[in-house]
Amino acid sequence: MDLSINKLMFKKHEPISMFNEGDEITLTEDCAGHKKGEVYTLVFQSGELVAKKEGEFGYCNCQHKWQLVTKDWTNLEVGDVLIDAEGDESKILEIGSARNACLPSDIENFEKTCDCWSTFKELKEAGWKIKGEEPLIEEMTVSEVCDELGREIKIKK
């Protein structure tokens, strides 16, 4: 994780963003020549987080028009990360031509293949999940929050 100072700077009164560098987003409406529904990658440019397509000059910095792309088994790409039931991660190194199988990396070395193609169905049945597939907001009761924190809390209004 790069914590350089220019990536931690925010404009005065700007709220901390729920978006991160490298996230893929779509636009909820057209913006300065960029089209609603198209997929963009978030990058830092001149100390500001912007949505951009590789090789394009223009960008969109209207965060209120951004929506995270939810990863699922139908839109996986090379470089996406899978997580097994124990929390170990594996990166997708190749996707099959039928888009229903992949060649994942070794768990301990993202550059080395595990030498075994797996269908998405096999991976799902074995308990693998897609990193980024889980919802951003988890609903919990006060009791569940207390259990997670290991102490009692009181919610203020």
Q: Which two tokens stand for residue 78?
A: 């090379």
- pLDDT mean across residues, the chain: 80
Residues 38 and 10 in one domain: yes
* Residues 34 and 80 both lie in one domain: no
b/e string for 8-37 if b means 16 or more Cβ within 10 A? Answer: eeeeeeeeeeeeeeebbbbbeeebeebeee
CA 40/CA 61 separation, integer angstroms: 11
* Mean pLDDT for the stretch of residues 122-138: 78
Q: How confident is the model at residue 36 (pLDDT cuts 50, 70, 90)?
A: confident
| 97 and 156, same domain (yes or no) | yes
What is the tens place of the pLDDT at every residue in 39-52?
888 888 888 888 88
More confident: 87 or 3: 87
Question: Which of 47, 68, 89 is the last residue before a domain boundary?
Answer: 68
Q: Do 85 and 150 share a domain, yes or no?
A: yes
pLDDT at 40: 86
Residue 119 to residue 103: CA distance in whole angstroms: 9
Lookup result for tokens 């996230």: 23
What whole-number distance in Å separates Cα of residue 141 and Cα of residue 136?
A: 16
By mean pLDDT, which of 43-52, 123-132, 136-145 is the weakest?
136-145
Mean pLDDT on 113-135: 85
Separation between Cα atoms, residue 28 and residue 151, nearest integer Å: 40
Residues 30 and 12 in one domain: yes
Whether 149 and 75 share a structural domain: yes
Is there a single domain that holds both residue 62 and residue 75?
Answer: no
Question: Are 50 and 32 contained in the same domain?
Answer: yes
Tell me the average pLDDT across 8-37: 69
**Domain final position from 39, 68, 97:** 68
Mean pLDDT of 118-123: 92
Its domain, for residue 54, covers 5-68
Q: Examine the domain organization and report whether 87 and 155 are in the same domain.
A: yes
Model confidence at 10: pLDDT above 80? no
pLDDT over 80 at 14, yes or no: no
Average pLDDT of 5-10? 42
Residue closest to 90 by CA, chosen among 77, 80, 75, 100: 80
Residues facing 113 on adjacent strands: 105
